[in-house]
Amino acid sequence: MSSEQGHQPKTLITGVIGSDTHIVGNRILSMALEQAGYKVVSLGALTPAQDFVKAAVETAADAILVSSLYGQGELDCRGFRELCIEAGLADILIYVGGNLVVGKQSWPDVEQRFLAMGFDRAFPPGTRTADVLDALAHDFATRPRKAGA
């Protein structure tokens, strides 16, 4: 529809999923995204999975960036892509990052598990904000323009 062309900034949803109160890293990420020119809808800590999706529907978001720092990410993120599909956002870009699992597990295994859940990218602990910005720029440039919105 009309305004999709042109210089409308991309809209990103950020937040910390589940019963997780670790907000600092997510805030730093949100600030970096805003400085890079994105429109950021930041949902903050303790955000249920469905609230990410509802916010994305209403704001016609281009991507959802889910943070999880307390080791329960795998449990909280299960079915996230399915929720998006259910809400008509089958093709939305979704990232996840943080301390996604407990204990010492090899990152490639963890990453694989989250990609299998339907996340487009998973980021290990210690990721720099610049890496996320690069990934977004790359993915937005290469993915087909989403329909609707």
C-alpha 132/C-alpha 38 separation (Å) is: 12
Number of residues that bind other proteins (CB under 8 A): 26
- 3 state DSSP class of 17: strand
Note whether 42 and 55 are within 8 A (CB). no
| Known catalytic residue at 20 | yes
Closer residue to other proteins, CB minimum distance, 68 or 121: 68
Pairing of strands 39-42, 63-68: unpaired
Cα(6)–Cα(107) distance, integer angstroms:
39
Give the active site residue among 7, 22, 62, 120.
Answer: 22
In the stretch 23-62, what mask flags binding to other proteins with x, by CB under 8 A? ----------------x-x--xxx-------xx-xxxxx-
Closer CB to other proteins, 52 or 135, in the complex? 52
Residue 88 or 124: the one with the smaller Cβ distance to other proteins is 88
Q: Report residue 44 as tokens.
A: 């903050």
CB of 100 to other proteins, least distance (A): 14
Known catalytic membership, residue 22: yes
5 CB contacts (<8 Å, ≥6 apart)? none
Distance CA 122, CA 114 (A): 6
- Residues with a known catalytic role: 20, 22
Q: Which residues bind other proteins (CB under 8 A)?
A: 1-3, 8, 11, 19-22, 39, 41, 44-46, 54-55, 57-61, 70-72, 148-149
